[in-house]
Amino acid sequence: MEIHLGIDDTDSRQGMCTTYLASTIVNEVIGDFQRPELVRLNPNIPWKTRGNGALAIRGTTPNYSEFKEEVIDTVNGLREPSSNTGIVFFKKDPRKHREIRLHSQKAIKNTIDPEDAVKLARKHGEIVGFGNKRGVVGALAAAGHTFNDMTLELLAYRERARWGTPRKIDKTMVYKASELHPLIWDTVDWKHKKIVIKPNSPCPVLYGIRGDHEKAIKKAHNTINSEPISHTTIFKTNQGTDEHITPQKIGEAKPMSSSKVVGEVVEPPKTIEGGHVIFKIKDSTGEIDCAAYEPTKKFRNKVRKLIKGDTVVVYGGITKSPPTINIEKFKLKQKKPKTKYVNPTCPSCGRNMKSAGKNQGYRCKKCKTTKPKKIKLELEREIEEGFYEVPPIARRHLAKPLIRMEMGYDQK
Ligand SMILES: [Zn+2]
C-alpha cells in the first residue's frame, strides 16, 4: 500500500541529522521507497532547527502498521532526546490537498502556528510527536511539498564510531572534484580557499555534494578521498532554488520572511562595527536597510561600490528592528553615473583656473582667461551592472546560486 511520511526536528546542537534518520528508514524499514526529499524551510525563524530541513519519504509498504512501528522504533533509536520530533503518516498522497500544499509554502516563506499544523495533519493523516511537537510543522510541510524547481544532494555518512571526531577528507581531491562545476556547485569557495562540502556540526554527515546533475554528483563523490564512509544517499531537495523568496514591494516586506525587492539606493553603503556593510533603499512604498554581514567576506567589497541613486534588486531574508534585508544576492540594475565638479583648466596654458570670487567665475592668474563655471567630470564606476552573490561559504541552503540562473534552471 501507498505511504507518505514526513519527519522533522530530530537533531540538536549535540548531533544527529534528520537526513541520516531518513536514509536509515529508506535503507532498513520494510517497503519500496522513492528518493527521499529534503525540504528546507524558512531560514529566518528564530526557533528553527539547525539547517531547518525536514524530510519526506514516499513509496509502498506491504504492511502499514508494521511500517509505522518500524519507523517509530528507528526514530526513537536515533533522535536527540532534547529535540521536538514530529512524524506524520499518510496512506494517501497529502499533496492532493490544497490546504496542505499551502501549509508547505507557508512553512518555507513565513511562519506557522504549531497547533494549526497538528490539526491539519490529524485531519488527513496520523501524527507521532515528541517534546512540544513543534516538529509536526516541518514534517507536514515536507510531506505536502510539491517541487517547482529541484536540485540534488548526495550525502555521505560517517561510520558511527567516528561521529563527533574531526572529519578526514583529502582537500586536494575536493578541489579536483569541484572542476565538475557548474554541474555541481558549492563544493569549494575558491575566493576564500575553503572547502564547503563539510559540515561543522558533530552530526553523522561526512560531506554533501550539491548539484543539478546526478552523474556529475556521483563522479565528484568517487573523486574524493576520505575516511571510510558508512553509506551514501541522494536526496531530492529545494536547496538552491530561491523557493523562500517572495517578490514584493519594500512596504510589504515583513520580518521572518524573505523578499526580492527593487529599490533606489538612498543612503550609500557604510561599514559599521563588526565589519557589516549597510545601505538603505527605497521605492514608492517605503525604505529598508540592506546588510552584507561580516561572514559574507569579500562580497562586501562589491556592496561598498554602490552609490546613491543606483537602482538595485535585492534578495534576502528580513530580520527585525529595524527591518533589514540580509542580502543573499543583488543585481545592480541601473548604475547612476558618478560625477565630480572641478575647476576648469586654462585654454591657453592648461593650468587649473582659480575662483575669481563669489559668483565671479574662474580665472587664470597668468593668462587672464576666464570661464563661467566648474566642469562636470564623469568618473569611472568600479562596478558593472549585473548580479552579485554571497560566496559559497556564506550561502543559505535555499538561496539560488547565480550559476543555476545562468544555466537556465530559473524557470523549471
Ligand atoms: Zn593660463
How sure is the predictor about 412, in pLDDT bands with cuts at 50, 70 and 90?
very low
Report the distance separating Cα 33 and Cα 325, nearest Å. Answer: 40
| Percentage of the residues of the chain whose pLDDT score is greater than 70 | 98
* Ligand 1 centroid from CA 272, angstroms: 46
User: How many angstroms separate the CA atoms of 237 and 6, rounded?
Assistant: 14
Q: How far is the CA of 378 from the centre of ligand 1 (A)?
A: 24
367 CA → ligand 1 middle, Å: 4
Highest averaged pLDDT of the listed ranges 130-139, 215-224, 366-375:
215-224
What is the tens place of the pLDDT at every residue in 285-318? 999 999 999 999 999 999 999 999 999 999 999 9
- Distance of CA 348 from the midpoint of ligand 1 (Å): 5
- What distance in angstroms lies between residue 366's CA and the mean position of ligand 1's atoms? 5
Q: What is the Å distance from ligand 1's center to 51 Cα?
A: 68
Distance 349 CA to ligand 1 centre (A): 4
Query: Cβ of 44: how many Cβ atoms within 10 Å?
Result: 23
311 class by beta-carbon count within 10 Å (0-12 exposed, 13-18 middle, 19+ buried): middle
Q: Note residues around ion ligand 1 (Cβ under 5 angstroms).
A: 346, 348-349, 364, 366-367
User: Residue 361 C-alpha to ligand 1 middle, in angstroms?
Assistant: 15
pLDDT exceeds cutoff 90 at 407: no
How do residues 239-291 score in pLDDT, each as one tens digit?
999 999 999 999 999 999 999 999 999 999 999 999 999 999 999 999 999 99
C-alpha 355 – ligand 1 centre gap (Å):
13
| CA 350 to ligand 1 centroid distance, Å | 6
What separation in Å is there between the alpha carbon of 352 and the centre of ligand 1?
8
Cα(133) to centroid(ligand 1), Å:
83
Q: Is the pLDDT of residue 381 over 80?
A: yes
Backbone angles phi, psi at 350, to 5 degrees: 80, 0
Determine the residue type at 351. Answer: R
Rounded (to 5) percent helix, strand, coil in the chain: 25, 35, 40
Strands 324-334 and 338-342: unpaired
Cα of 354 vs centre of ligand 1, distance in Å, is 10
How remote is the CA of residue 364 from the centroid of ligand 1, in Å?
5
Confidence of residue 48 (pLDDT cuts 50, 70, 90): low
For residue 270, how far is its CA from the centre of ligand 1 (angstroms)? 41
Q: Give which of 210, 215, 259 is closest to 236, Cα–Cα.
A: 210
Neighbours of 254 (CB within 10 A): 15
Instruction: Please report which confidence band the pLDDT of residue 183 belongs to, taking 50, 70 and 90 as the band edges.
Output: very high
**pLDDT digit string (tens) for 53-92?**
999 999 999 999 999 999 999 999 999 888 899 999 999 9
Q: What is the rounded average pLDDT for all residues in the chain?
A: 94
What's the gap in Å between 372 CA and the centre of ligand 1? Answer: 15
Q: What is the distance in A from the centroid of ligand 1 to the CA of 59?
A: 87
345 CA from centroid of ligand 1 (Å): 8
What is the model's pLDDT at position 127? 95
Read off the pLDDT band of 133 (50, 70, 90): confident
CA distances from 401 to 120, 182, 292, 387, 406 (A): 34, 10, 16, 11, 9
> Grid coordinates standing for 168?
578526514
Distance 342 CA to ligand 1 centre (A): 16
* Ligand 1 centroid to residue 347 C-alpha, Å: 7
List C-alpha distances in Å: 251 to 111, 247, 282, 283, 309: 19, 12, 9, 8, 19
Q: How much is the average pLDDT of 37-43?
A: 96
Say how many Å lie between the CA of residue 380 and the centre of ligand 1.
28
CA of 359 from ligand 1 middle (Å) equals: 20
Q: How far is the CA of 339 from the centre of ligand 1 (A)?
A: 25
31-59 average pLDDT score: 89
| Angle, helices 135-143/98-109, rounded to nearest 10 degrees | 120
Distance 357 CA to ligand 1 centre (A): 17
How far apart are the CA of 379 and the centre of ligand 1, in A? 25
Using CA atoms in the order 31, 36, 40, 46, what is the torsion angle rounded to 10 degrees?
40
Categorize the per-residue pLDDT at 50 as very low, low, confident or very high, splitting at 50, 70 and 90. low
pLDDT tens digit string along 137-179? 999 999 999 999 999 999 999 999 999 999 999 999 999 999 9
CA of 363 to the centre of ligand 1 (A): 8
